[in-house]
Each structure stands twice: as structure tokens, then as C-alpha cells.
Amino acid sequence: MAKPYISLKPTEQTLTTAAAGIYAAYITAGRVANGEEKPWMDRAIREAIRIARTIDESVQSDGEFD
């Protein structure tokens, strides 16, 4: 059986890490009921993206110009 191959770009890796942390917090807090994993995972992903967009709008990184 072949193992799945996933190749994520740096931004995707960062968002994956953030979403996993958010999702883990939901699990630890007891909010994710058995069978309800997907909606909570989707929510964590949306929140990680929202955080990233907020940071991008708030901070000017090296190489970014107005």
C-alpha cells in the first residue's frame, strides 16, 4: 500500500501548524464531540486563515512595499 505524499509550501505549513493548535485546543476544552471532528477542524482552519490575514494586514514584512 502506497503512503500518501503531501508537499506543503511554507505558508501552508504555517497555517497547518496554527490550525492544528486551534483544533487541539477545542479537543482539550471538550468541545469536539465524537463524530463532530470535521466541522471543528474546518472552523480551526478558517480561524487560522483569519489570523494570518489579520497579521498580513497589520505588519509590513521585509520586502513588502506600499
Instruction: With a cut of 90, say whether residue 60 has pLDDT above it.
Output: no
Q: What is the mean pLDDT of the chain?
A: 94
- Distance from C-alpha of 66 to C-alpha of 61, rounded to nearest angstrom: 11
Determine which helix (DSSP H) or strand (DSSP E) holds 9, and give its type and residue range: none
What span, in angstroms and rounded, lies between the C-alpha atoms of 54 and 20?
18
Domain residue limits, the chain? 10-27+35-55
Q: In whole angstroms, how far apart are CA 41 and each of 1, 3, 15, 18, 21?
A: 27, 23, 13, 11, 10
Tens of pLDDT, residue by residue over 33-55, are 999 999 999 999 999 999 999 99
CB contact at 8 A, 15 and 52: yes
Going by the DSSP 8-state scheme, the letter that residue 30 receives in this structure is: T
What percent of the chain lies above the pLDDT cut of 70? 95
pLDDT over threshold 70, residue 66: no
